[in-house]
Structure 1
Amino acid sequence: MPVETTVDIGLEGEEYAVAYLRKSGFRIRCRNYRYRRAEIDIIAVEGSTLVVIEVKTRTGAFYEALSDSISRAKIRRLTRAADHYVRSIGSDLEVRFDVIQIVRHNGRYRLTHLRDAFYFFP
């Protein structure tokens, strides 16, 4: 049986997150949007809000609090990439940053969705 890599685990988590978001009424606009050194996992629309979503997938053997999972540098990169995306599509939607954490343990998933995970003021 092949060894599962962190990339495999991350992709699996993103698929699970997308299914959850669609079921929750979000419209997925873009996945894995790249700008410079940043990558936004999911960009979606909920109502009149553009939602930038960072997905963190962990196995049961590794767990960290959501508040510790994204560094200040990562937040800066995400906000720059989000700004670039918004400007490139000419959107005037309000932007929100969410984090979805998925923990997989013994073949079961636990999903935590943190809305307004952080704010960024340039």
Structure 2
Amino acid sequence: FLYINENQDVYTDSLSVFIPSQNVAQGEIRFAPRVSYTSEFDDGSVVIPWAELSGVYSFASTPANSGGSLSEAMLGLTGSVQAGIDYTTSEGSLISISGQYDGIGSSADSFGLSLGISTTLD
């Protein structure tokens, strides 16, 4: 959970321009449940398939497009889904692959693919 509230007092700048007071407030609530299943094999290797649904609810108490607030396109509920599989060898090396779709409930979307490899230096 994140919430920011900023109050700006009225003032006159160095060019004698009157700047009115304003209040900018915005926040967001995030959640990301993940499910996975671990399979261990006789040789010591492990496979973990997983899936995750992420969501963000963004809100603002000021008019959209006021200075410093979230734009109208970013307000409301948006989400993404990710799924992948992690394989750990009996020697401790890890190979991971996952895919992502972001943009559920939004006017913009993106796709992603990730491949990771790590090993011990023993």
Name the TM-score, length of structure 1 as normaliser: 0.28
- Whichever of the two has the greater Rg, that structure is 2
Q: Which has the higher helix share?
A: 1
The structure whose RCO (Cα within 8 Å, separation 6+) is larger is 1
Q: Which has the higher strand share?
A: 2
Name the TM-score, length of structure 2 as normaliser: 0.28
